[in-house]
Structure 1
Amino acid sequence: MTTPATTPATEDARPSVHPADRQPALPARLAAEALGTLFVVVAGLGVPLFAVPQYNPLPASLAAGLALTAAMLAFGYLSGGHFNPAVTVGNAIAGRIRPGAAAAYLGAQLAGALLGGLALFGVLRTVPKLNGTRSAFDTVAAGFDARSVIQAPVAGVLLVEVLGAALLVAVYLGTTAPRNPRRAAAPFAVGLSMAVLLQLGQSIGNAPFNPARATASALFSSPEALGQLWLFWVAPLAGAAVAGLVFRGFARTPDTAADGVEPAQAEPVAETAVTGTAGTDAAGTSRPAAPGRAAAVPADEARDFFDKRTP
């Protein structure tokens, strides 16, 4: 009596990909970034542009923060809900998004911001009581020295922008971290942080802590605002870099290797969405790897890039 030959079970070396782990296509993520940035700019600039005290009880800073919260809730599951070049740079340096995708995000954010500014510019042109559309934009454009409400010098505005952007990016990176059990609250934490920071920024020189928003307001203002735009790119990106470096260091702490995974690989890379990240299901619950299979650990290309470990 012969025993049927049995073929040893073989497992595919490649781990299966859960539907919740699949990233949306890059065009979809870019469209979400552009649309979300447009909303943030329209609300952040439009509310103070058309503010009438007796009819607009909502402060402009709070309106901008609420708009950011709404945009993150609506589009964050697609792109991660950056809507700000500073946030994207912080994510890239922290190893959460690949450099190529980060560059594309910046382009989409600028496009959305410029469309939002253009829409507001067009609306202002229809209002006959305004003597000049560009002079109206001057009231919301970022600036220093003579263009600051309190005549703040360049050094003071620069420090406020660096500090504010670093805090904003730190809040984003902390609340969207894969190991944070309260990731669902990220839109509220980031939106409220933006509202508080804008309240400070308005008194200094309309500091927006968002280079895309600063560009949109400067392009439709007087030439002096465009000449001061450089500070509102350099300062927030410097603050974002500081926050990104700090959080990249957090990702390399020894406790991340508790499951036998190298610290540099423990935190998923990819463009982390606000709701749902690699290695979790839609409810945010961790899924263990199937028996006999290696855990899905995406290549940490972004962190390798900034550590100069690429071949």
Structure 2
Amino acid sequence: MTLLVPAPESVGVQPPAVGDASPRPGLIARLSAEALGTLIVVVAGLGVPLFTIPQSNPLPAALAAGLALTAAMLAVGYVSGGHFNPAVTIGNVIAGRIRLAAAAAYIGAQLVGAALGAVALFGVLRTVPTINDSTGAFATVAAGFGEHSIIQVPMAGVLLVEVLGTALLVAVFLATTASRNPARAAAPFAVGLTTAMLLQLGQALGNVPFNPARATASAIFSGPDALGQLWLFWVAPVVGAAIAGLAFRGFAQGAQTAKTTDPAGAAFTPAESNDADLAGSDLDDFDAADLDDAELTGARLTGARRCGAADDADKGAPAGRSGKAKAAAAENDEARSFFDRNGGK
């Protein structure tokens, strides 16, 4: 009996790339995966601290939330990419990994999953006979600043921590899921542990979640004060995600330049350039036509490279050469012919 073992690139948060044998999941499937994953993150992230009895719960709430995120990414991340956080989705948009329309749908699905998780937890809370004020109890896990912070951290302090923490989280996600990263199969563990570390810091300041969907879920049943401060836990993560996305895009473009041009300016072959940190990214039905209207850090998708290699093979050209490379080679041939005819004058 032969034991089939999945290839490393199929593990973790990598959805099927274009050209793979298995069909790419449809948008509805991806949105369902995002909603389910966010539901898991919210139920664990809010439920553990909400119902924690210190004497009988040795697992810290921050670690529980990180483990839940890791489990969600391993369970359904291969379908959607495993964002489960609007900030991560925004970072992917800015990095050029997902279209704006698909990103908006992702964020909507994440909010639906977060709301369902909040409803489930609040429903359980209402059944506890010893809790007379369900709204007040739910407010203990809501994100806040100033007088709603555990140690009275002012708005500026919480804003700074939220921006910095979200930037770090999104950077870890983008870096560990990059196609050039040989350890991308371990991305769920890296992202989950990073989340646990950041939440340990955030809880001490005011339940800072580094996730707008989770912040929204915690504010829904926590009263007007939590809803009035919710804006900060959307604005700050967006800023942090933008910083990480722009930085990652800059690094990707720098790597592209370094790999496609030598110091003398000679172009390398496309096979030597791996600019597409997009294998298994969340582009909606990406195909060759999209290369014209979505530069996506100047990258080629893995599937697009395979298609290019097949076309080149049919035409008798070396496999793996793109149209631009063949055009450049043709121009060089014409130039040599010109110099031959004119004696190098």
Match of 1:205 in 2: 206
Tell me if structure 2 keeps the 8 A contact 1:252–1:264: no
Match of 2:20 in 1: 18
Match of 2:98 in 1: 97
Match of 2:302 in 1: 279
Tell me if structure 2 keeps the 8 A contact 1:94–1:244: yes
With over 3 angstroms needed to count, the CA separation of the structure-2 counterparts of 1:270 and 1:71, relative to structure 1, is: same
C-alpha distance in 1 between matches for 2:237 and 2:120: 25
Which of the pair has the greater relative contact order for Cα pairs under 8 Å at 6+ separation?
Answer: 1
Letter in 1 for 2:184: R
Q: What is the correspondence of 1:287-298 to structure 2 with a 5 Å cutoff?
A: 289-290=309-310, 292=313
With over 3 angstroms needed to count, the CA separation of the structure-2 counterparts of 1:33 and 1:279, relative to structure 1, is: same
C-alpha distance in 1 between matches for 2:19 and 2:60: 45
SS in 2 for 1:19: coil
1:138 has 2:139 as partner? yes
Deviation at 1:255, TM superposition (A): 2.9
Match of 1:115 in 2: 116
With over 3 angstroms needed to count, the CA separation of the structure-2 counterparts of 1:247 and 1:127, relative to structure 1, is: same
Moved more, 192-201 or 287-296: 287-296
Deviation at 1:105, TM superposition (A): 0.3
Letter in 1 for 2:139: D
Deviation at 1:213, TM superposition (A): 0.3
C-alpha distance in 2 between matches for 1:180 and 1:18: 20
Tell me if structure 2 keeps the 8 A contact 1:251–1:263: no
Deviation at 1:269, TM superposition (A): 4.0
Match of 1:126 in 2: 127
Match of 1:223 in 2: 224
Tell me if structure 2 keeps the 8 A contact 1:142–1:214: yes
SS in 1 for 2:179: coil
Could you tell me which runs of 5 or more consecutive residues in structure 2 were left unpaired when the two chains were aligned. 1-17, 262-267, 283-299, 323-345
Letter in 1 for 2:217: A
With over 3 angstroms needed to count, the CA separation of the structure-2 counterparts of 1:141 and 1:34, relative to structure 1, is: same
C-alpha distance in 2 between matches for 1:206 and 1:191: 17
With over 3 angstroms needed to count, the CA separation of the structure-2 counterparts of 1:189 and 1:287, relative to structure 1, is: farther
With over 3 angstroms needed to count, the CA separation of the structure-2 counterparts of 1:248 and 1:115, relative to structure 1, is: same
Letter in 2 for 1:292: A
With over 3 angstroms needed to count, the CA separation of the structure-2 counterparts of 1:95 and 1:208, relative to structure 1, is: same
Match of 1:255 in 2: 258
Tell me if structure 2 keeps the 8 A contact 1:256–1:262: no
Deviation at 1:265, TM superposition (A): 8.9
CA shift digits 1:57-93 (9 cap, x unpaired):
1000000000000000001100000000000000000
CA shift digits 1:269-297 (9 cap, x unpaired):
47627xxx9528xxxxx999345267599
> Normalising by structure 2, what TM-score?
0.74
Tell me if structure 2 keeps the 8 A contact 1:252–1:263: no
Q: What is the correspondence of 1:239-254 to structure 2 with a 5 Å cutoff?
A: 239-253=240-254, 254=257
1:158 has 2:159 as partner? yes
Could you tell me which runs of 5 or more consecutive residues in structure 1 were left unpaired when the two chains were aligned. 1-15, 281-285, 298-311
Deviation at 1:113, TM superposition (A): 0.2
With over 3 angstroms needed to count, the CA separation of the structure-2 counterparts of 1:132 and 1:271, relative to structure 1, is: farther
C-alpha distance in 2 between matches for 1:183 and 1:217: 31
Letter in 1 for 2:309: A
Q: How many residues end up aligned between the 2 structures? A: 273
Identical residues among aligned pairs (%): 67
SS in 2 for 1:206: coil
> Normalising by structure 1, what TM-score?
0.82
Match of 2:275 in 1: 266
C-alpha distance in 2 between matches for 1:132 and 1:270: 49
C-alpha distance in 2 between matches for 1:234 and 1:36: 23
Deviation at 1:182, TM superposition (A): 0.6
Letter in 2 for 1:257: T
Deviation at 1:50, TM superposition (A): 0.4
CA shift digits 1:155-207 (9 cap, x unpaired):
00000000000000000000000100110000000000000000000011100
CA shift digits 1:105-139 (9 cap, x unpaired):
00000000000000000000111100111111111
Match of 2:86 in 1: 85
